[in-house]
Chains A and B, each alone.
Chain A
Amino acid sequence: MPILPLSGAASTKGAYIPLGSYTFPNSTLTGTGFSNIPQGYQDLMFVLNYSFTDSVAPAFIINSGGFTYSITALAGNGTSAYSNRTSNYPYGLLSQYATTFTTATSIVNIMNYASTSTFKTILHTNSFNRILSGSTDINVSLVQTLSPVTSVSFSTADGTKFFQAGSTVTLYGIRSVNQ
């Protein structure tokens, strides 16, 4: 899995500062990641536009792992609304619902990512739609680490299936005042 160095924020104005972006060049990669994340922002936001080669949930790991992850999810699939939970996991789930072939969009907000006094709370959404099926979900995840987030990697949950070529991941830092 390639880990990408990030470009600097330079003189970009506004609160959303693009820090890095990756486009999967082929359909043989199980994931990607961003390392050396600058610590000078308030929140991080990832935007993923992706699909997989086979049915699998999308996953993420912070700082190479070693923490406890949990998620509370609220979802609708065009027929019903439902809620699920996953606890005591070794990695995070962007969504508990699998995505294949049809492009999904995931927006991930890691709040207060640089804090050394709070666990990391993540608000994230994931949506995809096919002709006869689809799913949209909003999730809150907890990563039980007081360490600041310095790297994030995204992968297929089982580590064996692949991102489709053309899938993209973009990282933004969100500045507060005086940042």
Chain B
Amino acid sequence: MSMFPIATAAGTGGAGSFNFLSIPQTFTHLQLRMIARDYIAANAVYHYFNFDSAGTSYSQHYLMGDGATAFATGASNQPYFAMDGATASTDLANANGALIIDVLDYSNTNKFKTIRVSAGWDLNGSGRVWQWSGLWRNTNAITSWILTPGFSTTSRADLYGISTSFRTGA
């Protein structure tokens, strides 16, 4: 099994999104690695697959620590994944959040799509760290992945494909 880079995206400093389109279907799993600072005073990382962003197909649950207390909560029937993980534009300068998102069997048309997310930011006196699980109740293969609301110019996301068979790659 090996991991291969597919695409990369950089923030523009304004409203917008990281768009991963025409995702190759030749891998078995996907991993997204991201550092993020919102262009606004928020910690949001919203994301959705295949332009499905208006229904009720998403659910998510997390375990989170804020440096003092461990929390657990969840949300169901959401129009997209609504996660925190980015630092805000008003936070400590030069600090970014980090996210690693795994999607297993993304091209399998017999399964809903489950994601696992490790994420966090620390500002030397405050911070959050999470373990998320998420579900997209759709058996379509994932062909696109959009992340919003818009990120600083120092933010970036890198998409990788994970192959379970021998192949030459990037």
Contacts and interface: CB of A to CB of B under 8 A. Distances in A.
Interface of A: 13-16, 42-43, 68, 70-75, 81-85, 87-88, 109, 111-112, 115, 117-119, 121-123, 125, 138-142, 144, 146, 174-179
Contacts of B52: none
A119 B119 contact: no
A111 B170 contact: no
B104 interface: no
B122 A72 contact: yes
A71 B65 CA distance: 11
Interface string B148-170: 00000010101010000000111
A146 B92 CA distance: 13
Contacts of B123: 70, 142
A151 B70 CA distance: 33
B65 A14 contact: no
Contacts of A16: 2-3
Contacts of B64: 74, 83
9 contacts: A13-B168, A74-B70, A85-B125, A109-B100, A121-B120, A138-B65, A138-B130, A140-B128, A142-B123
Which of B100, B127, B129 has most A Cβ within 10 Å? Answer: B129
Contacts of A174: 33
Interface residues of B, number: 45
Nearest to A109: B100
A81 B73 CA distance: 14
A115 B4 CA distance: 21
Nearest to B37: A118
Contacts of A88: 124
Given A14-B2, A123-B98, A140-B98, A118 B125 contact: no
Interface of B: 2-8, 33, 35, 63-70, 72, 92, 94-98, 100, 118-125, 127-131, 154, 156, 158, 160, 168-170
A85 B68 contact: yes
A72 to B, nearest CB: 3
Given A72-B66, A140-B127, A142-B122, A14 B100 contact: no
Contact of B95 (A13, A81, A119, A139): A119
Contacts of A111: 33, 35, 96, 98
A13 B2 contact: yes
A179 B124 CA distance: 32
Which of B3, B33, B95 has most A Cβ within 10 Å? Answer: B33
A141 B123 CA distance: 9
B100 A123 contact: yes
Contacts of B156: 112
Given A68-B124, A121-B96, A121-B97, A175 B5 contact: yes
A72 B128 contact: yes
Given A14-B169, A140-B128, 20 more contacts: A14-B2, A14-B4, A15-B5, A42-B33, A70-B125, A72-B122, A83-B70, A85-B127, A111-B96, A111-B98, A118-B95, A119-B95, A123-B100, A125-B118, A138-B130, A140-B120, A140-B129, A142-B127, A176-B8, A179-B5
